[in-house]
Structure 1
Amino acid sequence: MASSQPKSTLYRGSPDHGGFGGSPFSTKLEFRFRHAKLPYNVAAGSPKTGPKGKVPYVDLSVFQTSDASAGPSLMGDSTFIIQHLLASHRLPDLNEDLSDEQRLNDLALRALLEEKLYFYLMRERWLDNYYTQRDTALYAIPYPIRIFVGLLVHRTVTSTLHGQGVGRLTGEEVRGLETEIWQTLESVLEQRMRKATPQKVFWALGGKQPTEADATLFGFIVSVLATETAPESKKMVKKFPCVSEYAKRIHRQYFPDYEMWT
């Protein structure tokens, strides 16, 4: 049934083909919207038009009023988008009832994914699997120009990773660090799954409801499993059945209209 509520537009860098986009941050936002039953549209967009020069970003003009304090209609960065929608009471505060220790665990998991795993995946995509990533991320740019833009992006990513530190590691070292993350997640999620009702969703911190960490974790798992731009990571994640099952159960409940990854 179509909703009569106004719909924001999520620009995720890829068109709506009945499936997930490649960005973990866009899927993170989609999970938050769907969990809150907040209607939205999906569009491709591009980093060039994003307010922070990256995707995802959202057009919130449908929620704007004549009040100048409502903020800009286009907003970038998934964390700030969620904070804005929390402040305007359009999304529920998933972490409202967490203890201080639970909040720390939630923040630590998000930081692990967004400040560590993100750069391991960036290296694999833009350095180790460059041509597939280029043609996926820059699909909307005509081919001759795509070559030039791709080289610029590659140069920027190489510099970023060198400064951040991941670019100074060997491929074997990066895979070892990434394996440690997924192995630890597998161990924790195995414990959560054992206590969950069969086929029902379960959450990373073990509560009855998701936290912000679940939105982020689901986004990162999907960004690996639903794309071909990080093939080594995809093989790795598939070796951890509880990680895959965690994502599949969320998919079945919140994204039944999207094609399941293989």
Structure 2
Amino acid sequence: MNAQDTSKQPEVTVFRGWKETGKYVWSPYVVKLETRLRFAGVRYTTDVGGLKAAPRGKIPYIEFRDSSSASPLLLSDSSLIIQNLTERGTLPDLNGRLGPAERSHDMALRALLEDKLSFYHAWERWTRNYYTMRDHALWSIPYPVRVIVGLLVHRNITATLHGQGTGRFTAEEIAAFRLEIWEGLSALLVASRSSSKGGDDEPFWALGGSHPTEADASLFAFVISVLISTASPDSQKVVKSFPILLDYANRIHDRYFPDYEKWTL
């Protein structure tokens, strides 16, 4: 992480839902939040946490304390956490320097990932690779109870995907939609890398600028989530078929996450 005056830094604990340390977790929203903190050089610790303790019942959430806080604040939802910390001045406004067209482009990229691709990933994990996903996501629940809870989660997610629309498509159609998104993102990164003024090992950014934007935190997170999740075998094949995606992720990892275990290819 980038060096800052630690005496003035707030205390931030990121509750990630899993107990492993020094590793990425499967949730792209956790990775997105950690990436955003590391882009800013904000030091933080990690903990497991749980849905019962989480505001809004969502992972990730954080406990935040700074010099102006009489007691720790609990904040949840990765986007709202980032917005809140930006308004407090803890995080810089990555998109503050962007013009209207670039802001719209950044917003569209995040929506493509978080409001479209995420449903295709949920479908792949919870319907095509249910048992792998169940045992990973519900690791803290004893096995006999996990079976029952897993069925309830599966039913809820299936209903959500049907209502949202993803569940109404065939496996072949979803695979084609997913491939189209990764193809488009790969083409964008090829253009971004070619226009980058950094060195061969320096990170390059989705919008082609000299600094990351909010979209980079999301894009990196979704690439990492696919690469480490054993419940995403089809998506893994797709992502690994585009060297530019791996190069993009490798460079950001090496710069901002050198202490984390790297995925295997």
CA distance in structure 2 between the aligned counterparts of 1:261 and 1:54, rounded to whole angstroms: 25
Q: Report the 3-state secondary structure (helix = DSSP H, G, I; strand = E; otherwise coil) of the residue aligned with 2:56.
A: coil
Aligned to 1:152: 152
In structure 2, relative to structure 1, the CA distance for the partners of 1:3 and 1:97 (3 Å cut) is closer
* TM-score, normalised via structure 1 length: 0.94
CA distance in structure 1 between the aligned counterparts of 2:263 and 2:68, rounded to whole angstroms: 36
**C-alpha deviation, 1:259, in angstroms:** 0.8
RMSD of aligned Cα (Å)? 1.7
Which residue identity is paired with 1:195?
S
Aligned to 1:237: 239
Aligned to 1:211: 213
Runs of at least 4 residues off by over 6 Å: none
Asked if the contact 2:204–2:210 (Cα under 8 Å) also holds between the matched residues in 1, the reply is yes
Asked if the contact 2:188–2:206 (Cα under 8 Å) also holds between the matched residues in 1, the reply is yes
Show the 5 A alignment for 1:1-262.
3-4=6-7, 5-62=9-66, 65-66=69-70, 73-196=73-196, 197-262=199-264
**C-alpha deviation, 1:145, in angstroms:** 1.1
Q: Report the 3-state secondary structure (helix = DSSP H, G, I; strand = E; otherwise coil) of the residue aligned with 2:14.
A: strand
Q: Report the 3-state secondary structure (helix = DSSP H, G, I; strand = E; otherwise coil) of the residue aligned with 1:37.
A: coil
**C-alpha deviation, 1:63, in angstroms:** 5.7
Which structure 1 segments of 5+ residues have no match? none
Q: Report the 3-state secondary structure (helix = DSSP H, G, I; strand = E; otherwise coil) of the residue aligned with 1:260.
A: coil
Q: Report the 3-state secondary structure (helix = DSSP H, G, I; strand = E; otherwise coil) of the residue aligned with 1:60.
A: strand
**C-alpha deviation, 1:49, in angstroms:** 2.0
Higher mean C-alpha displacement, 13-22 vs 128-137? 13-22
**C-alpha deviation, 1:44, in angstroms:** 1.4
Which residue identity is paired with 1:101?
A
CA distance in structure 1 between the aligned counterparts of 2:138 and 2:259, rounded to whole angstroms: 26
CA distance in structure 2 between the aligned counterparts of 1:224 and 1:175, rounded to whole angstroms: 14
